[in-house]
């Protein structure tokens, strides 16, 4: 099936640092979503992107829908301990697609 390449797979940073992660694909996507999952919990939707080039913020989080529609980026500014978790990207391949394609996740660890 379709795959999203999410990178990096893991990140180890100091508290206060900025974080950047991305998802890429060889296919064009209609919608991009970013989720965060805490250990033992379900993913929580952070940001949804619907238009190529769109840049959307949610507090310290900023995500962009790549202009080629084949990639998306998530940035976290001034990281804090509660940012620890796994971040997933997900995409909808085309308008009306019934399913989402998920990336493998980026595990974020923060050293205080």
Contact residues toward another protein (CB under 8 A) are: 1, 31, 33, 35, 40-45, 48, 88, 90, 92, 97-100, 102-105
| 44-49: long-range contacts, CB 8 A cutoff, minimum separation 24 | 46/74, 46/87, 47/74
Give the shortest CB-16-to-another protein separation in angstroms: 27
Give the shortest CB-40-to-another protein separation in angstroms: 7
Number of neighbouring beta carbons within 10 Å of residue 12: 10
Give the shortest CB-99-to-another protein separation in angstroms: 6
């Amino acid at each position: 099936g379709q795959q999203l390449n999410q990178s990096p797979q893991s990140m180890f940073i100091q508290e206060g640092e900025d974080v950047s992660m991305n998802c890429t694909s060889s296919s064009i996507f209609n919608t991009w979503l970013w989720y965060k999952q805490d250990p033992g919990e379900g993913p929580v939707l952070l940001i949804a992107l619907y238009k190529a080039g769109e840049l959307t913020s949610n507090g310290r989080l900023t995500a962009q829908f790549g202009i080629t529609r084949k990639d998306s980026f998530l940035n976290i500014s001034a990281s804090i301990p509660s940012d620890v978790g796994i971040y997933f990207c997900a995409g909808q391949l085309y308008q009306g697609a019934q399913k989402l394609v998920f990336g493998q996740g980026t595990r974020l660890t923060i050293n205080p």
